[in-house]
Structure 1
Amino acid sequence: MAKSSVAVAALLAASPVPALASVTVIGSSSARLCIQAADSPLQPTFQDLRHCDQAFGETSLSLYDTVATHVNRGILRLRHNRVEEAMADFDRAIELDPEQPEAYLNKGALMIRLNDPGRALPLFSLALQHETSRPALAHYGRAVANEALGNVREAYSDYRRASELAPGWEEPRLELRRFRVVTR
């Protein structure tokens, strides 16, 4: 699958991992409305979720658009705090296309939100391996997971990489200030 476009939607509530990564849809009008809602910084409405649901009933939905719609609906569900349903969407996207990086990235963010850094860590690595179009987010999320697991060097390295990839993004720089590097 080609790299997907990603938009910063909103900070995850109660989580240091920002933004969710949506996937651009090529076909279906309902699927397009679903991505527009996932990309929006506004709180999604129940009608936005209905657009995602309706997209699955449209016969013209390609495999790519089906996977993308699962990722985008997962984002909307997560923003409505429907965590189990969001997890199911991310899992379904991964099942349909194990190469979909944004599904791994969003599932990793969900795992951080659930305070499960051990499950989040490999998901962020898979998002990077499959070339997420938001590598700064994946490095930041992996840094958060590494730090929670006590992997301080790896956390520092990922915060630093996130800062390099997104120099205008303040959070990684703020996290880096907490570290003191000692050379031996």
Structure 2
Amino acid sequence: MIRSTLLAASFIALIAPFASAQVSVIGGGIARDCYEAALYGRTSNQEGEKICTKAIEAEMMKMENRAATYTNRGVLRMRAGNYDGALSDYSTAKNMKPELGAIWLNEGAAYIFQKDFDSALISLDKAIELDSQELYAAYYNRAIARENTGDLAGAYSDFQKTLELNPEFERAKWQLTRFTIAN
């Protein structure tokens, strides 16, 4: 019986995840400004965080928009390297709207940045289960987490799934070039 194994190039211990799935806010106001700060990056991450905080503190909004605003602030915090602050925002958002896949996707990315790959896998599995809006990013990030926990076959499979969902995603194409299938 021929057994195939996957070998990944070991020169890369960690590749930055691909996340920042902003959550749209229905309506206008400060919460919408927060969403646009996370989406377009027209302000600094710190300024965007202030906009989101102001929306959270001062604006009346539906639970879905409030959860989205916490998620968007988490995205801005994560981009600024404040992973604990981002994780706190994602936790709050999950308590409000746990079925929102983007929360779990971003939480998984924050855990990857912290090199907590086991926690990242839990979050990313949930993002995939919930059919997150940026599903290809959830598979890509899970591939990174899997590779860093030693699950090379799972990582390879997830990078392939990423390309199936988004054939133009160059990062996934490159990732697959690092793998060799040996008999």
What is the TM-score of this pair, normalised by structure 1?
Answer: 0.86
Q: How many residues align?
A: 170
- In the alignment, which residue of structure 1 is the partner of 2:31? 31
Give the SS at the match of 1:181: strand
Report the residue type matching 2:55 in the other structure. Answer: A
Partner of 2:153: 153
Deviation at 1:54, TM superposition (A): 1.6
Amino acid at match of 1:117: F
Q: 1:81: how far off?
A: 1.7
2:179 counterpart letter in structure 1: F
- Which whole-Å CA distance do the structure 2 matches of 1:152 and 1:78 have between them? 27
The whole-number CA distance in structure 2 between the counterparts of 1:46 and 1:124 is 26
Cα deviation for residue 80 of structure 1 reads 1.7
CA distance in 2, matches of 1:89, 1:38: 14
Q: What is residue 78 of structure 1 aligned with on the other side? A: 78
- How many angstroms apart in 1 are the aligned matches of 2:47 and 2:178? 42
CA distance in 2, matches of 1:45, 1:110: 15
Q: CA RMSD in A?
A: 1.7
Deviation at 1:78, TM superposition (A): 1.3
The Cα of 1:46 is off from its aligned counterpart by 3.3
Show the 5 A alignment for 1:1-184.
15-41=15-41, 44-182=44-182
Offset of residue 15 of structure 1? 4.6
Q: Is the 8 A contact 2:30 2:59 kept in 1?
A: no
Deviation at 1:28, TM superposition (A): 4.4
Runs of 4+ in structure 1 over 3 Å off: none
Describe the shift of the 1:151–1:28 C-alpha distance in structure 2 as closer, same or farther (beyond 3 A): same
In 2, Cα distance between the equivalents of 1:155 and 1:170?
16
Report SS of the residue matched to 2:119: helix
Q: CA deviation at 1:45?
A: 4.6
* Distance apart, 1:90 and its partner CA: 0.5
Between structure 1 and structure 2, the one with the greater Rg is 2
The residue identity in structure 2 corresponding to 1:75 is V
Distance 1:67 1:161, change over 3 A: same
CA drift at 1:60 = 2.8
Cα shift at 1:182: 4.6
In the aligned structure 1, how far is the partner of 2:141 from the partner of 2:71?
18
Contact 2:22 2:38 in 1 (8 A): yes
Letter of the aligned partner of 2:152 in structure 1?
Answer: V
Task: Point out where structure 2 has 5 or more consecutive residues left out of the alignment.
Answer: 1-13
Aligned 8 A contact 1:109 1:120 in 2: yes
- Between structures 1 and 2, the one with greater strand share: 2
Q: TM-score if structure 2 supplies the norm length?
A: 0.86
Contact map agreement 2:74 2:86 (CA 8 A) in 1: yes
Percent of counterpart pairs with the same letter? 31
